[in-house]
Amino acid sequence: MLVRVQNLVKRYGNLLALDHFSMEVGEGEILGLLGPNGSGKTTTINCILSLLEYDKGVIEVFGKAMAPDAYESKRNIGVVMQNVAVFQELRVDENIDYFCGMYVSDAKARRRLVDKAIDFVGLGEFRTFYPKKLSGGLLRRLNIACGIAHEPKLIFLDEPTVAVDPQSRNKILEGIRDLNRQGATVVYTSHYMEEVEQLCTRIVIMDKGKTLAMGTKDELKAMINDGDTVTVELYALQPDHVANIRQLPHVTRAEYADNRLAVHFDGGQHNLLTLLDYLKSRDLSFGRVFSEQPTLNDVFLEITGRQLRD
Amino acid sequence: MFMHIYKYRLRCLARDREMVFWTLIFPLILATMFHFAFDQLMGRQEAFRPIRTAVVASDAYRQNVAFRQALDALSGPGEGQLIELTVTDDREARRLLADGAVAGVITVGDPIGLTVSQSGIEQSILKAVLDEYAHRYATVTGILEEHPADPGGLLWELGQMRSYTQQISFSSAEPDTTLNFFYALIAMTCLYGGFLGLRNTTDVQADLSPQGARRSVAPTHKLGVVLYDSAAALTISLAEVTVLLAYLMLALRVNFGNQVWYVLLTSLAGCIAGVSLGAFIGTFVRKSENAKTGILIGTTMTMSFLAGLMIDTMKHTIARKAPVLSYINPAALITDAFYSLYVFASHRRFFLNIGLLLLISGAMCTLSFLRLRRDRYASL
């Protein structure tokens, strides 16, 4: 394991930010830390990086206890902060060179790494620009380049796509996949479940400083995937029909709102045909029909009773 | 590693336009304003026009050769001309006086008379001149009557104006009462190096800036980063004070004497004190960035005020009424170091000031680092 966190407890005064939180990160993974704002994702990262004091728990990185003076471990860690951490007075290439130089002292090697990082984030034509001249998306890319230019083995990315345009977001996500393909292990925090679903090989869902669930995307969905949800566009469905549909085989839930009927089936086969047969038999005309797989939001909803973006 | 961090820190600080304004441009503007203000003031004080005076051309005047020669000497054109003389009859002289065309009318007789229409500086000078003449005339006459043997040597001695005190400047500089303002200005500029120290502490602490957080996770010892940053801040601050000194000496012709290396040593010690003060405020004041900047400006202005930036006698008032303040106020120590260079032949007082400055700076640096070196933060 590259990172091992055990029973981590962190309090801010009376607020319990991390409540016996545990997780592990294996080599070559992209681990997603998913949770709503204030769930403790950034606090976890900052504790792992030895920036924050914590009340209790064990943190190991590269098999050694993590500490502020664990320089050997730190040399192999890259961090992309949630807030853009660059100097406004330095140009794009100077910013990357500056932060890279805190890890790599050889100037020749550093020049190569800086050029590579600039190409990687697609800032080639902006390399002599000052940060204030960059758009929000380009600034985020610079922030990433500053964190990964020294080619670390373990990279922490804390919400790197917040307030980023779709084009830059795709570029960033592609870049993270590339880094992983090149051998980097990635810890990625986000409250965007779509990103985490797309990107991460394993996911930790957390809320109120606790681990709610952990596993691959499929494992997590399997926790609640005891059936399918079928949605049908219908105009003016009477409540007695909804009641009748609830009586159909394997139906566990049926709700009608905004001209849409959502029916959840608990296992079984040919559920869609059964539902459509019922609608035809009652001469109920319908529009489009969707069959949906559960999302991570459904997992979160199932566990907490709340939406992920609450 | 030192050169890498030092080089980029220099660039960061030198390219921070707002900071460069306060630490360099603002003192240059103040120096220029001081220069023009003092220039006008000194110009007004030094302008002197000969006093227009009338003398009545009576028989007594024509017969009094000694007095005529004395008036000729006082009214002769040149730098020493004291009066502008009009010799005329009694009626015309009184008309000139009534019209305000002359400050006074001299009537030769026994005694010599002076008629004025009002009192003022010019009239007082005329009276003093006539009194002096009458006094010397009476003295010489008296001596000649009592000691007729050697009148020549005695008269020569009486003609000499002797000064029994001699003005010596150990620094080859002319005495200048406005210098204390410039000393206080240099002290203020040194202490404005605090802006650089303040910025450094912000950029190194993870709980104050994202840049601080990013630097804290790098595999670099924090003491190293703090020292390299401080070296860059000190370099910038000293360069700015040197530019100010060069501007004062070369462009504004302010004379600091001939001890340039000591002046630079004072500037270096002042800059160390300034950067340390900024680091101290940045580390110990747990307020917003703007609040810290406000506190730094307030502190440096108060120190400079107490050192005589606005009132030239303030430094002496503090030294008399609250002497302890003079020994713990870095601005006062800087101005006093300059002052002692300018006034005293010995460097004892100069080195006492420099020593105290370095002691205060050392204390602020040590306390700041003890606070900065903490490993982890309670919150970010």
* Cα–Cα distance for residue pair B44/A113, rounded to 1 Å: 67
The minimal CB distance from B206 to the residues A51, A74, A75 is found for A51
- In 3D, which of B89, B91, B16, B27 has the Cα closest to residue B58? B89
Answer yes or no: do A93 and A201 share one domain: yes
Say if CB B359 and CB B330 are below 8 A apart: no
Answer yes or no: do A274 and A137 share one domain: no
Check residue B152 and give its pLDDT: 64
B221 to chain A: nearest residue by CA? A69
A90 in contact with B, Cβ within 8 Å? yes
For chain A, the domain total comes to: 2
Note whether B376 contacts A12, CB cutoff 8 Å.
no
Distances (CA, A) of B281 to B26, B50, B260, B300: 22, 59, 31, 11
- Mean pLDDT, rounded, for B327-332: 90
Report the CATH number of the B51-159 domain.
3.40.190
> Residue A22 pLDDT > 60, yes or no?
yes
| pLDDT (tens digit per residue) in A280-291 | 999 988 999 988
* Cα–Cα distance for residue pair B227/B231, rounded to 1 Å: 6
Answer yes or no: do A111 and A70 share one domain: yes
* Cα–Cα distance for residue pair B46/B255, rounded to 1 Å: 19
Look at residue B131 and give its three-state secondary structure. Answer: helix
Beta strands in B210-334 (DSSP E): none
The confidence band for B202, taking pLDDT boundaries of 50, 70 and 90, is: very high
Domain presence at residue A302: no
Answer yes or no: do A63 and A200 share one domain: yes
Which of A222, A249, A271 is where one domain is finished?
Answer: A222
Domain presence at residue A308: no
Look at residue A57 and give its three-state secondary structure. Answer: strand
Sequence-separated (6 or more) residues with CB below 8 Å from residue A84: A131, A139, A140, A142, A143, B210
Answer yes or no: do A196 and A231 share one domain: no
> Residue B323 pLDDT > 90, yes or no?
no
Query: What does the mean pLDDT of chain B come to?
Result: 85
Strands A210-215 and A251-257: unpaired
Check residue A99 and give its pLDDT: 96
CATH number at residue A59: 3.40.50.300
The minimal CB distance from B15 to the residues A84, A86, A89 is found for A89
Percentage above 70 pLDDT, chain B: 89
Sequence-separated (6 or more) residues with CB below 8 Å from residue B300: B188, B191, B192, B194, B274, B277, B331
Answer yes or no: do A30 and A94 share one domain: yes
- Structural domain boundaries of chain B? 2-36+178-372, 51-159
One-letter amino acid for residue B18 of the chain: E
> Residue A294 pLDDT > 80, yes or no?
no
- Mean pLDDT, rounded, for A198-213: 91
Dig out the tokens for B169 from the structure.
Answer: 């400047």
| pLDDT (tens digit per residue) in B65-90 | 888 888 888 888 877 788 898 999 98
Find residue A187's DSSP bridge partners: A31, A156
Work out whether the CA dihedral B127, B133, B136, B137 comes out positive or negative. Answer: negative
- Mean pLDDT, rounded, for B355-362: 95
Domain residue limits at A268: 226-292
Answer yes or no: do A112 and A182 share one domain: yes
Answer yes or no: do A217 and A103 share one domain: yes
B211 in contact with A, Cβ within 8 Å? yes
Strand order through the sheet with B113-115: B83-88, B51-56, B104-107, B113-115
Residue A81, min C-alpha distance to chain B (Å): 7
* Cα–Cα distance for residue pair B158/B142, rounded to 1 Å: 13
The confidence band for B154, taking pLDDT boundaries of 50, 70 and 90, is: low
Domain presence at residue A77: yes
ipTM beyond 0.90? no
- The CA-based diameter of chain A, rounded to the nearest angstrom, is 78
- Mean pLDDT, rounded, for B322-338: 89
Answer yes or no: do A52 and A148 share one domain: yes
What φ, ψ does residue B245 adopt, rounded to 5°?
A: -60, -45
The minimal CB distance from A81 to the residues B13, B213, B375 is found for B213
Residue B307, min C-alpha distance to chain A (Å): 35
Q: Which chain B residues have a beta carbon less than 8 Å from that of A83?
A: 210
Q: Which chain B residues have a beta carbon less than 8 Å from that of A12?
A: 378-379
